[in-house]
Amino acid sequence: RPIRESLNTVRHDSVLPWVLSTYAVLLCFSPSPALMLPVFAVSVLHATPEHLGFLFSSIGIGSIVGAILLAAHGRDARKGQLHIAGVLLSSVALAGFALSRHLQYSVAALLVLGIGQSVAATSAMTLLQMRVSAAIRGRAMSLNTLLVMGLRPLGDFPLGALMSALGAPTAVLLGAFLIGAYGSAIEFLRPSIHSA
């Protein structure tokens, strides 16, 4: 029931459906680090366990940097624009990681990916809290749990299968393209998101 009430509230908003849909696409088509990084470390980068630690750390550091940047400069910025920027930055960084064959470039791409995903996620949740009434705010946040705990693992299943069938770089590049295409479509076709 809380999720149903939250969805009804979101559906009647002019901005939230597009913000949450781009966030959902990002979660669904961006492989989780636990799925993606070990595969790339072994089969693409031929990295050592220590190097795998660098890969995991870089995306974590990027997430922290993204949160700090958003906190420092996001007070007066439009959250809708920040959200789309984070989604598109994540798409570019994910594509860069898929194309990289060198550890240092992969670390840099993951750092940027962490920043983009952090900005996209934080701005989406900020908008969700700002644009619903106080009475339903807690229930609306259950949508975040649904997206993170539901869509991310659900998306890992087909992406894992695609990695086996097409190879990890091709599968991740395809995911990056889908994220970028949807984010670009929202950017140009839904101008209302810029006013949020």
Q: Which residue has better confidence, 56 or 4?
A: 56
Q: Which amino acid is at 80?
A: G
Q: Is the pTM of this model over 0.75?
A: yes
**pLDDT band at 137; cut points 50, 70, 90:** confident
The whole-number pLDDT of residue 132 equals 77
User: Out of 12-16, 30-34, 120-124, which region has the weakest mean confidence (pLDDT)?
Assistant: 12-16
The mean pLDDT of the chain is 88
The whole-number pLDDT of residue 5 equals 67
Q: Which residue has better confidence, 81 or 91?
A: 91
- At residue 138, does pLDDT exceed 80? no
Q: What is the mean pLDDT of residues 115-129?
A: 91
The whole-number pLDDT of residue 74 equals 64
The whole-number pLDDT of residue 134 equals 74
The whole-number pLDDT of residue 147 equals 81
Distance (Å, whole) CA 14 – CA 154? 27
Report the b/e string of 108-147 with b at 16+ CB within 10 A. bbbbbbbbbbbbbbbbbbbbbeebbeeeeeebbbebbeeb
Distances (CA, A) of 128 to 13, 40, 151, 156, 178: 10, 35, 18, 25, 24
The whole-number pLDDT of residue 100 equals 95
